[in-house]
């Protein structure tokens, strides 16, 4: 374990990720101006999800970390989603 | 025990609830007694004096499956009975006798469709009664044990509870959600009367006019007692939730209006304002939002009576 | 003086002289064992306060009407009693005391992963506790909301609630950091050869607990912050007058506080899972099933919070979903009970005092659990919700469960922790009083609840008088038992007979080190071979 | 010959501290998660009011702040690369850029909140309570709480980065022991991650 070298990510990669993130930010702002009705929240959230996945995998190195960290992250996100879902079982059906 | 005795069929929900109760308790007792005795028996049989060498057994998949599946089935049965006893509580029939229940610290007020107001709940027997539950301040709980109904009374929302009383008599009514100092006194009674008797009571408005009173301030005092002012205020100088009424009339009171502090004299207008719009001026050292406006509950005449009474408190 | 070196290595953690002297050698120590003891002493102190408040409440309830205090005092009492017991005693209880002390030793490590963080958690814990106590001592009035701080009453009351809320928030942080520390310790510091499935069950239970602490505590943290902001600024999130929904507060509160009850019970079950095999001299029955049920309780326990809110006006869909999930979470508990009892089968049982605590744990836990089933069914919950029945349920299971397990654990590990043995005869007498007192104290509350007596009631109808007298009498018997137990333990720490390394013939790693353990626990980190395991008799 | 038992030889376990940091990030996620639950429920209950109130927020400032955070996230990520390539100067430079960007974010936030205060909107302000609908009160209440808490995290993150910066300068954080810097980076990305959700939820409702 001690010997294991850290994966060094080249600067270039980080820069591309940033470009992708910024592009998506503008796209989600643009999305607001197209009238999608109820779907605009969904659109914005989809963009946010993609963006955060990028941040998690590249900026936060999950891609190069041990798999159990990835499993934990997914697990925590699922737990949160389940909390939200169950809370909605109340509010949605009231 | 309520479950077993005098409240049998006091309302339409009793049998459903009690069935679930007995079922769960029954299964539980079987397990409790069985497992406890097994435990004690093992302790006796496999005592290290009798059985100095233990037999190493690491587990058994068959047993694990058995004692996962059987309890699962049992709890699903419990769930079903729980659900079956509860489901009817959620939907009231169409044709009901409606009463509005207003909870506030620390009493319930019942308003009938003909405008009658009481602090005891009067209901006709064998008729579906639907309660509209509203709260003016904090959450209260509306609980009639004999009828097996309970519903929280949440401010900002209108809740519903319904039942068919099936037994004549008086029953207890409690507030179950903690709501401040006199939570345990926020109870009342339910009086179930056969339809003809109830009707007679319902149309009779004369009976409620108060009997003649001797002293001129007694009416004010009676009004205040009935509506529950003394839950928060005393007349002997001690401070409860609100300031004391002792010597209040004509005294100088430091109040806060929108955060600014100033002093006023407690006169008729001030007292009226304190009752109708208590949160406009807050007496220094007390909290906003505890006392609720009594607009609509106390008429101008009532307030005059109250003021007269307050004047007398030297 | 070369020869002195190996002997000095054996200096126990109690005598070890580090950089600091006296008190400072404790409060600045990063040794997990000293920190564990410091938690224990702090908790004992707070616990005694909590017990006094409980006894005072029972005294008040001995007769209807006013006996020794006014309603406002009573309301303050159960609030402070609840806050102290829940947030300061049973939630941190077993993990902070025995988890800290035993976890590293049981998995063959020299300390936890972050010893400094561990000490910091203790300070945070103390800060939070002192804040809670401050809310009692200063300001205009003792908090009176109940430990649940339900909105909107919690921002209407004129009492000194802010320090209590803030204290609970800070205590949450201590709990999170402890959990974090344990997870990392378990992941990184198990001794060579100890695979996940060779870990002692107590360590497994701490692992499950730690995840709950980590993922649930922040939710109540932010909720309490919102209540505080609501009180200070009136931001409106839970105030119906400003558009908020008080029921949402309850959702958020119970999202934490239900899992929190499993934070309490899991380590308790873990301790029982250690005691039973040791005293039966037998491999635990169904190791994997117990591990799986620990994880299942931790996970499913996350999604049942709504069973505290069946009358609050949730949608019907939410109600029966929560009811069914509640029943499902009862099954892993059932599995554990069956496995414990099967472990005794064909064992060679030594009915010593820790074992007595363990079987009385199982007994009261079953009663508490079964009353939980009554509460989990919709129809019956509507009837007994917010009555004395609930009070009986959670005292049976929180206090009967966690409290009994705590006493079981302390009698089990005491010789290891202090290197001395307590007086067993007195320990048994104390246990007997405690057990009898316990049943007399709380059983009548089931009856009262079924009669319809609401909880948090200062005054009650005359019909309820007899049961309340019985209950009050029970509280005295139990307190007497407690007194015997505590005095016995305290005296023996100085005067007890010197304890051997492995008085109960246990097989987990803590029994392979001297009693009390040296500062570094192990001279050489132990190694598990193919055949080794925590329960290999 | 007094003190032979040296306490836990200061062993360095980067995996442990990384795991610890991640676990802490999980708690932070659920801390904000609680607020997101509140937000989503109230938005679900008051869709129109939330839209009205959302229009009061300045998308331009929001977008600028988003970009600032994204860029700062990149610079701190790059700084670990620089550290691993033993380029101390570049590491320090990138860290300073990150801190400066964080400061700019806060300044923006200051002005943004300032305008709101100027318009009489602050938690519990009379204008809010008396003239606005309940949904709008909730929106602004949550707006202040959530962005405020986020700003608090920015400040904590800045302190964290500054500590790392100091240690890089002293050389105790270096290519062989980059843990502290990596953890500061993880924390900073968390702050970014949260903003990625806050931005559309508050600024982009139309
Ligand atoms: C240690 C803490 C702890 C634990 C472990 C539990 C365990 C359980 N609790 Fe309890 N509970 C509390 C602490 C705890 N509770 C507290 C503090 C409150 C009150 C909070 C307040 O309002 O102030 C509360 C309140 C509470 C309520 C809300 C009551 C109300 O206010 O209306 C409910 C409702 O469903 C409930 C249910 C359960 C259930 C089903 C279990 C189950 O996990 C129990 C499972 C155990 C068993 C079932 C027994 C063992 C099994 C067998 C012997 C095998 C046979 C079994 C079968 C056939 C199924 N609890
Ligand atoms: C662990 C939790 C715990 C414990 C131990 C106790 C102990 C006691 N409780 Fe408890 N009680 C609560 C948790 C607890 N309580 C909670 C959460 C509430 C709800 C508050 C609310 O409504 O908001 C409550 C409410 C409550 C009420 C109801 C108030 C009401 O609704 O009107 C009453 C009434 O008499 C009562 C009585 C007592 C008594 C007499 C004791 C004791 O005095 C009995 C004596 C105790 C012992 C003899 C020893 C027990 C030993 C251990 C637990 C292990 C020790 C651990 C360490 C030292 C670390 N309590
Ligand atoms: Cu009203 Cu309790
Ligand atoms: Cu629960």
In three-state secondary structure terms, C190 is coil
Q: Does residue D177 belong to the interface with chain A, where contact is any CB pair within 8 Å?
A: no
Q: Do A11 and D78 make contact, defined as CB atoms within 8 angstroms?
A: yes
What pLDDT is attached to residue A37?
A: 67
pLDDT tens track for B25-78: 999 999 999 999 999 999 998 888 888 888 888 888 899 999 999 999 999 999
Residues 116-145 of D with CB under 8 A from C: 122-124, 129, 133-135, 137-138, 141-142, 144-145
> Angle of helix D47-54 relative to helix D14-45, nearest 10 degrees?
110
What pLDDT is attached to residue B139?
A: 92
Helix or strand (DSSP H, E) at B103: strand B97-104
Taken in order of first residue, the domains within chain B and their CATH numbers are 8-90 (1.10.287.90), 97-206 (2.60.40.420), 214-312 (1.10.760.10)
With CA atoms as reference, report the closest residue to B119 among B205, B224, B227: B227
What pLDDT is attached to residue B216?
A: 63
With CA atoms as reference, report the closest residue to B223 among B279, B280, B163, B301: B301
D52 falls within a domain:
yes
Q: What are phi and psi of B171, to 5 degrees?
A: -130, 155
Query: Terminal CA-to-CA distance of chain D, rounded, Å?
Result: 75
pLDDT band at residue B4 using 50, 70 and 90 as cut-offs = very low
Burial class of D41 by CB neighbour count within 10 A (0 to 12, 13 to 18, 19+):
buried
Task: Compute the distance between CA of residue C280 and CA of residue C286 in angstroms, rounded to an integer.
Answer: 15
Reported residue count of chain D is 206
pLDDT tens track for B116-157: 888 888 999 989 999 999 998 889 999 999 899 999 999 988
What pLDDT is attached to residue D4?
A: 32
DSSP, residue by residue, D130-190: HHS-HHHHHHHHHHHHHHHHHHHHHHHHHHHHHHHHHHHHHTSSBTTB-HHHHHHHHHHHH
Ligand 1 atom nearest to CA at C386: 31
pLDDT tens track for A57-77: 888 888 888 888 899 999 999
Residue B310 has pLDDT above 80, yes or no: yes
Q: Do C280 and B89 make contact, defined as CB atoms within 8 angstroms?
A: no
D4 falls within a domain:
no
Domain ranges in chain C are: 24-512
Residues 283-302 of C with CB under 8 A from A: 302
* CATH assignment at residue D90: 1.20.120.80
With CA atoms as reference, report the closest residue to B226 among B140, B99, B120: B120
Whether this prediction's pTM lies above 0.80 is answered by: yes
Per-residue b or e along C268-298, where b marks 16 or more CB atoms closer than 10 Å to that residue's CB:
bbbbbbbbbbbbbbbbbbbbebbbbbbbbbb
Task: Compute the distance between CA of residue C248 and CA of residue C228 in angstroms, rounded to an integer.
Answer: 16
Q: Residue D183 in contact with residue D18, Cβ under 8 Å?
A: yes
What pLDDT is attached to residue B215?
A: 61
Residues of chain A whose pLDDT is less than 70? 1-6, 35-37
Residues 73-112 of D with CB under 8 A from A: 73-74, 77-78, 81, 84-85
Q: Residue B63 in contact with residue C342, Cβ under 8 Å?
A: yes
What pLDDT is attached to residue D11?
A: 61
DSSP 8-class letter at A5: P
- Prior bond of C237 cis (ω within 30°): no
B121-124: strand order across its sheet: B121-124, B188-193, B169-175, B140-144, B149-153
Chain C residues with CB-CB distance to B182 below 8 A: 71
Residue D131 has pLDDT above 60, yes or no: yes
pLDDT band at residue B6 using 50, 70 and 90 as cut-offs = low
pLDDT tens track for B62-77: 999 999 999 999 999 9
Other CB atoms within 10 Å distance of the CB of residue B90: 12
Would you give per-residue pLDDT tens digits along chain C (537 residues)? Answer: 333 333 444 677 777 666 667 777 777 888 888 899 899 999 988 888 888 888 888 888 888 877 888 888 888 889 989 999 999 988 888 899 999 999 999 998 888 889 889 999 999 999 999 998 888 887 677 888 889 999 888 887 878 888 889 999 999 999 999 999 999 999 988 888 888 998 999 999 999 999 999 999 999 999 999 999 888 888 888 888 888 899 999 999 999 999 999 999 999 999 999 999 999 998 999 899 999 999 999 999 989 999 999 999 899 899 999 999 999 999 999 999 999 999 998 888 988 899 999 999 999 999 999 999 999 999 999 999 999 999 999 999 998 889 999 999 999 999 988 888 898 899 999 999 999 999 999 999 999 998 889 999 888 888 888 888 899 999 889 989 999 999 999 888 888 888 888 888 888 888 888 888 888 888 888 888 877 888 887
Task: Compute the distance between CA of residue C359 and CA of residue B22 in angstroms, rounded to an integer.
Answer: 27
Ligand 1 atom nearest to CA at C265: 1
Q: Does residue C283 belong to the interface with chain B, where contact is any CB pair within 8 Å?
A: yes
Residues lining ligand 3, Cβ inside 6 A:
B 103, 106, 140, 175, 177-179, 183, 186
Residue C189 tokens, joined: 């510091």
Tell me how many domains chain D contains.
Answer: 1
D31 falls within a domain:
yes
What pLDDT is attached to residue D1?
A: 26
> Angle of helix C353-376 relative to helix C424-451, nearest 10 degrees?
10
Task: Compute the distance between CA of residue D136 and CA of residue D134 in angstroms, rounded to an integer.
Answer: 5
DSSP 8-class letter at B235: S
What pLDDT is attached to residue B262?
A: 82
Beta partners for residue B112, in sequence order: B99
What pLDDT is attached to residue B7?
A: 65
Domain that holds residue D94: 16-204
D159 falls within a domain:
yes
With CA atoms as reference, report the closest residue to B163 among A65, C382, C355: C382
The rounded radius of gyration (Å) of the Cα atoms in chain C is: 23
Chain B residues with CB-CB distance to C393 below 8 A: none
Beta partners for residue C518, in sequence order: C12
Residue D24 has pLDDT above 90, yes or no: yes
Query: Cα–Cα distances in Å, from B132 out to B137, B146, B158, B298, D134?
Result: 16, 19, 7, 21, 23
- Prior bond of C152 cis (ω within 30°): yes
**Residue C126 Cα, ligand 2 centroid: separation in angstroms?**
21
pLDDT tens track for D156-169: 999 999 999 999 88
Query: Cα–Cα distances in Å, from B181 out to B142, B242, C71?
Result: 17, 12, 6
Q: Do B46 and C349 make contact, defined as CB atoms within 8 angstroms?
A: yes
**Residue C59 Cα, ligand 2 centroid: separation in angstroms?**
13
In three-state secondary structure terms, C520 is coil
Distance in Å, alpha carbon of C302 to nearest chain A alpha carbon: 8
Query: Cα–Cα distances in Å, from D105 out to C54, C83, D184, D194, D195?
Result: 52, 40, 18, 14, 11
Query: Cα–Cα distances in Å, from C369 out to C209, C304, C330, C360?
Result: 19, 15, 8, 14
| Nearest residue (CA) to ligand 1, atom 39 | C372
Cβ-defined contacts of C497-502 (< 8 Å, 24+): C497/C420, C497/C421, C498/C419, C498/C420, C498/C421, C499/C414, C499/C415, C499/C416, C499/C418, C499/C419, C499/C420, C499/C421, C500/C415
Task: Compute the distance between CA of residue C518 and CA of residue C85 in angstroms, rounded to an integer.
Answer: 32
Distance in Å, alpha carbon of B148 to nearest chain C alpha carbon: 5
Residue B254 has pLDDT above 60, yes or no: yes
* Residue C394 Cβ < 6 Å to ligand 1: yes
Query: Cα–Cα distances in Å, from C533 out to C197, C323, C432?
Result: 9, 39, 34
Ligand 2 atom nearest to CA at C475: 40
Task: Give me chain B's average pLDDT, please.
Answer: 84
pLDDT tens track for B201-211: 888 765 444 44
What pLDDT is attached to residue C8?
A: 42
Task: Compute the distance between CA of residue C357 and CA of residue C370 in angstroms, rounded to an integer.
Answer: 20
Task: Give the CATH superfamily of C24-512.
Answer: Cytochrome c oxidase-like, subunit I domain (1.20.210.10)
Give ipTM to 2 decimals.
Answer: 0.89
Percent of chain B scored above 70 by pLDDT? 92
D7 falls within a domain:
no
D33 falls within a domain:
yes
Mean pLDDT, to the nearest integer, of D76-88? 88
> Angle of helix B61-90 relative to helix B14-45, nearest 10 degrees?
160
Q: What is the largest CA-CA distance in chain B?
A: 91
What pLDDT is attached to residue C338?
A: 94
What pLDDT is attached to residue C360?
A: 93
In the block, tokens 């705590």 appear at C406
Residue B190 region, left (φ>0) first, then alpha (ψ -120 to 50), else beta? beta
């Amino acid at each position: 374990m001690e010997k294991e070298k850290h994966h060094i990510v080249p600067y270039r990669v980080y820069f591309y990720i940033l470009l992708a993130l910024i592009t998506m930010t503008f796209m989600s702002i643009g999305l607001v101006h197209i009238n999608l009705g109820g779907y605009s929240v969904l659109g914005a959230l989809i963009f946010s999800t993609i963006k955060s996945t990028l941040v998690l995998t590249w900026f936060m190195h999950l891609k190069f970390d041990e798999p159990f960290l990835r499993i934990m992250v997914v697990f925590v996100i699922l737990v949160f989603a389940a909390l939200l879902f169950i809370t909605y079982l109340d509010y949605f059906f009231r | 025990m309520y479950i077993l005795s005098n409240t049998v069929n006091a309302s339409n929900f009793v049998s459903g609830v009690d069935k679930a109760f007995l079922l769960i308790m029954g299964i539980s007792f079987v397990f409790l007694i069985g497992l406890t005795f097994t435990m004690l028996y093992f302790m006796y049989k496999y005592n290290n004096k009798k059985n100095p060498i233990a037999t190493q057994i690491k587990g058994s998949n068959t047993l694990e499956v058995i004692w996962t599946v059987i309890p699962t089935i049992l709890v699903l049965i419990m769930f079903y009975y729980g659900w079956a006893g509860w489901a009817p509580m959620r939907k009231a029939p169409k044709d009901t006798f409606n009463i509005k229940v207003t909870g506030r610290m620390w009493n319930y007020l019942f308003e009938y469709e003909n405008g009658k107001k009481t602090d005891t709940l009067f209901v006709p027997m064998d008729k579906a009664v639907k309660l509209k539950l509203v709260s003016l301040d904090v959450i209260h709980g509306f609980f009639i044990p004999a009828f097996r109904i309970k519903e929280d009374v949440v401010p900002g929302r209108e809740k519903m509870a319904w039942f068919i009383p099936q037994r004549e008599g008086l029953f207890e009514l409690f507030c179950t959600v903690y709501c401040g100092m006199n939570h345990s006194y926020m109870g009342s009674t339910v009086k179930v009367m056969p339809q003809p008797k109830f009707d007679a009571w319902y149309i009779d408005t004369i009976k409620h006019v108060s009997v003649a009173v001797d002293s001129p301030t007694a009416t004010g005092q009676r009004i205040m007692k009935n509506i529950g002012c003394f839950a928060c205020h005393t007349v002997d100088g001690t401070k409860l939730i609100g300031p004391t009424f002792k010597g209040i009339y004509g005294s100088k009171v430091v109040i806060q209006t929108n955060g600014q502090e100033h002093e006023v004299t407690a006169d008729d207008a001030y007292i009226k304002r304190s009752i109708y719009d208590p949160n406009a001026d807050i007496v220094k050292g007390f909290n906003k939002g505890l006392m609720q406006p009594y607009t609509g509950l106390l008429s101008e005449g009532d307030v005059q009576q109250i003021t007269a009474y307050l004047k007398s408190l030297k | 003086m070369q020869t002195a070196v190996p002997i000095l290595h054996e200096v126990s953690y109690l005598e070890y002289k580090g950089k600091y002297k006296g008190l400072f050698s404790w409060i600045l120590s990063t040794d997990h064992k000293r920190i564990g003891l410091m938690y224990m002493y702090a908790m004992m102190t707070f616990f005694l306060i909590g017990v006094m408040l409980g006894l005072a409440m029972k005294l008040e309830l001995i007769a209807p009407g006013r006996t020794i205090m006014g309603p406002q005092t009573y309301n303050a009492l159960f609030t402070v009693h609840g806050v102290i017991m829940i947030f300061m005693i049973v939630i941190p209880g077993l993990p902070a005391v025995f988890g800290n002390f035993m976890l590293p030793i049981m998995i063959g490590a020299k300390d936890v992963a972050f010893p400094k963080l561990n000490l910091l958690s203790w300070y945070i814990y103390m800060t939070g506790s002192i804040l809670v106590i401050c809310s009692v001592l200063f300001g205009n009035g003792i908090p009176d909301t109940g430990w649940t701080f339900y909105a909107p009453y919690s921002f209407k009351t004129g009492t000194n609630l802010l320090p209590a809320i803030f204290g609970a928030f800070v205590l949450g942080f201590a709990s999170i950091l402890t959990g974090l520390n344990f997870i990392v310790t378990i992941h990184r510091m198990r001794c060579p050869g100890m695979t996940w499935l060779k870990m002692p069950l107590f360590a497994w239970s701490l692992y499950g607990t730690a995840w709950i602490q980590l993922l649930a505590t922040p939710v109540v943290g932010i909720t309490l912050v919102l209540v505080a902001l609501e009180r200070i600024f009136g931001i409106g999130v839970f105030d119906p007058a400003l558009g908020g929904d008080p029921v949402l507060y309850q959702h958020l509160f119970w999202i934490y506080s239900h899992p929190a009850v499993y934070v309490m019970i899991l380590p308790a079950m873990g301790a029982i899972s250690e005691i039973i095999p040791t005293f039966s001299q037998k491999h635990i029955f169904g190791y994997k099933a117990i591990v799986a049920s620990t994880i299942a309780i931790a996970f499913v326990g996350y999604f049942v919070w709504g069973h505290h809110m069946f009358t609050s006006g949730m949608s019907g869909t939410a109600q029966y979903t929560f009811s069914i999930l509640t029943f499902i979470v009862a099954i892993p508990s059932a599995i554990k009970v069956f496995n414990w009892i099967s472990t005794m089968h064909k064992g060679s049982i030594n009915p010593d005092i820790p074992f007595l605590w363990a079987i009385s744990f199982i007994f009261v836990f079953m009663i508490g659990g079964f009353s939980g089933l009554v509460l989990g069914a919709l129809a019956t919950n509507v009837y007994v919700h917010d009555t004395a029945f609930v009070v009986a349920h959670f005292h049976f299971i929180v206090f009967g469960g966690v409290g009994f397990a705590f006493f079981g654990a302390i009698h089990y590990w005491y010789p290891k922790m202090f290197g001395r043995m307590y007086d067993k005869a007195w320990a048994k007498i104390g246990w007997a009083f405690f057990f009898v007192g316990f049943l007399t104290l709380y059983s009548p509350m089931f009856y009262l609840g079924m009669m319809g007596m609401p909880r948090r009631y200062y005054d009650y109808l005359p019909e309820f008088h007899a049961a309340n007298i019985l209950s009050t009498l029970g509280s005295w018997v139990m307190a007497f038992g407690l007194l015997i137990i505590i005095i016995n333990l305290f005296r023996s720490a100085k005067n007890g007979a010197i304890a051997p390394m492995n008085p109960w013939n246990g097989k987990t790693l803590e029994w392979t080190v001297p009693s009390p353990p040296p500062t570094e626990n192990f001279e050489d980190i132990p190694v598990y071979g193919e055949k080794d395991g925590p329960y290999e008799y | 010959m007094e003190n032979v038992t040296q306490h836990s030889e200061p062993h360095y376990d980067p995996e442990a501290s990384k795991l610890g940091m991640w676990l802490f990030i999980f708690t932070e996620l659920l801390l904000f998660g609680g607020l997101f639950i509140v937000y989503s429920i109230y938005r679900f209950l008051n869709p129109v009011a939330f839209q009205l109130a959302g229009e009061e927020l300045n998308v331009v400032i929001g977008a600028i702040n988003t970009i600032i955070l994204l860029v700062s996230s990149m610079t701190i990520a790059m700084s670990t690369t620089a550290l691993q390539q033993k380029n101390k100067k570049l590491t320090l430079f990138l860290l300073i850029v990150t801190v400066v960007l964080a400061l700019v974010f806060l300044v923006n936030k200051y002005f943004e909140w300032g305008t709101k205060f100027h318009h009489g909107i602050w938690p519990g302000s009379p204008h809010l309570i008396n003239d606005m609908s309940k949904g709008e009160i909730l929106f602004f209440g949550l707006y202040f709480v959530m962005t405020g808490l986020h700003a608090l995290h920015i400040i904590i993150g800045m302190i964290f980065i500054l500590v790392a910066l100091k240690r890089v300068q002293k050389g105790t954080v270096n290519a062989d022991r980059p843990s502290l810097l990596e953890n500061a980076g993880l924390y900073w990305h968390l702050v970014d991650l949260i903003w990625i959700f806050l931005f559309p939820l508050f600024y982009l409702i139309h």
